Amino acid sequence: MKTPKPILLDGGMGRELKRVGAPFRQPEWSALALIEAPETVVEVHRRFVASGCDIITTNNYAVVPFHLGDARFELEGEALSELAARLAREAATGDVRVAGSLPPLSGSYRPDLYDVERAATLYPRIIAAMAPHVDLWIAETVSCLDEAGAICAALTARDKPLWLSFTVDDALDNGARLRSGESIESACALAQQHKVDTVLFNCSVPEAIGAAIALVQQLDTDLSAYGGYANAFTPRPKDTEANAVTAALRDEITPTAYADMVMQWVDYGARVVGGCCGVGPDHIAALRTRLG
């Protein structure tokens, strides 16, 4: 039987929004375009659709109290989450599917800040707002097992697929591990325990994503699919404060160079690939050409 082509995700929304001139600043990050210029969100989604991706992800990564503040999230969080999902659905033409982002609630790369009790109240609100417009869920940049467990608990009545996407330590000084220090093996085990059949890795440098995917290939799991979507950032120091600065991008990660890296993941068995922060439509188009 012929192996199906890998599923191709889109790339990072934030940097592409900035590139097309959308309003963009800290702390709101990519949420600011939803608030002040939603037409730019549709434009960027359509650029990724034109690049050949199979799935676009909703632009609500920063629609959380960490970026908006508690007061603004209480007033606008659910409406902005719904808007993000509706705009993605508007842009998804043909067979392109919409993935609803379940973002980190306490900032990227900060497992030490994660609050499981708060997650239990916030995730159901985000999910309910977006559910009418999305085809599946992607829990993005998950940095610890508690975070993954909270997301799975919020989606116990699951009528759409849930994909868990973990962020891994860029350094690789102790091998591929989550940013919490927990193992890739334990992340896959948790996913299987909660009947999540697709595990991904995202928002880490391509070298770290590749190491995590290579490790999953060696594990004895029942996962239906695994893969990843890397950022184009310079490696992040362990003491990086989320939302503190706009990270520098690596000039050497050209569309061709990124496609070369991702095709190595496909050789490791990756069935879902794409891009994260700093990976734009040109990168995705190069991947579409290589994947066929």
Q: Following DSSP, what letter does each residue of 103-172 receive, concatenated?
A: --SS-TT-GGG--HHHHHHHHHHHHHHHGGG-SEEEEEEE-SHHHHHHHHHHTSS-SS-EEEEE-B-SS-
b/e map 173-197, b = 16+ CB within 10 Å: eeebbbbbebbbeebbebbeebebb
Contact 81, 126 (CB under 8 A): yes
The answer to which of 20-34, 104-118, 185-199, 221-235 has the lowest mean pLDDT is 104-118
Token code pair at residue 61: 């990564």
Q: Is residue 77 part of a domain?
A: yes
Residue 237 has pLDDT above 70, yes or no: no
Q: Summarize the confidence of residues 44-68 as an average pLDDT.
A: 97
b/e map 42-79, b = 16+ CB within 10 Å: bbbbbbbbebbbbbbbbbbbbbbbbbbeeebbeebbbe
Range of the domain at 284: 7-291
pLDDT value of residue 114: 87
Q: Summarize the confidence of residues 169-173 as an average pLDDT.
A: 90
Residue 108 has pLDDT above 80, yes or no: yes
Task: Place 4 in a pLDDT band, splitting at 50, 70 and 90.
Answer: confident
Residue 236 has pLDDT above 70, yes or no: no
61-91 tens-digit pLDDT: 999 999 999 999 999 999 999 999 999 999 9
CA distance 173 to 86: 42
pLDDT value of residue 253: 96
pLDDT value of residue 202: 98
Find tokens 């900060």 and name the residue: 110
Q: Is residue 198 part of a domain?
A: yes
Q: Is residue 1 part of a domain?
A: no
H or E stretch at 224: none
What is the CB neighbour count within 10 angstroms for residue 230? 30
CATH code of the domain containing 108: 3.20.20.330
Residue 206 has pLDDT above 70, yes or no: yes
CA distance 125 to 224: 29
What is the CB neighbour count within 10 angstroms for residue 22? 22
Task: Place 158 in a pLDDT band, splitting at 50, 70 and 90.
Answer: confident
Q: Is residue 107 part of a domain?
A: yes
Q: Summarize the confidence of residues 12-26 as an average pLDDT.
A: 94
Q: What percent of the chain has pLDDT over 90?
A: 84
Q: Is residue 110 part of a domain?
A: yes
Task: Place 177 in a pLDDT band, splitting at 50, 70 and 90.
Answer: very high
Question: What pTM does this model have?
Answer: 0.95
Residue 2 has pLDDT above 80, yes or no: no
Q: Is residue 93 part of a domain?
A: yes
Residue 99 has pLDDT above 60, yes or no: yes
pLDDT value of residue 95: 97
Q: Is residue 2 part of a domain?
A: no
Q: Is residue 168 part of a domain?
A: yes
pLDDT value of residue 247: 75
Task: Compute φ and ψ for 123, nearest 5 degrees.
Answer: -60, -45
Task: Place 240 in a pLDDT band, splitting at 50, 70 and 90.
Answer: low
CA distance 173 to 53: 33
Domain count, the chain: 1
Q: Summarize the confidence of residues 249-259 as an average pLDDT.
A: 95
Task: Place 234 in a pLDDT band, splitting at 50, 70 and 90.
Answer: confident
Q: Compute CA 71 distance to the chain's CA centroid, rounded to the nearest angstrom.
A: 25
Task: Compute φ and ψ for 286, nearest 5 degrees.
Answer: -65, -40
Average pLDDT of the chain to the nearest whole number: 94
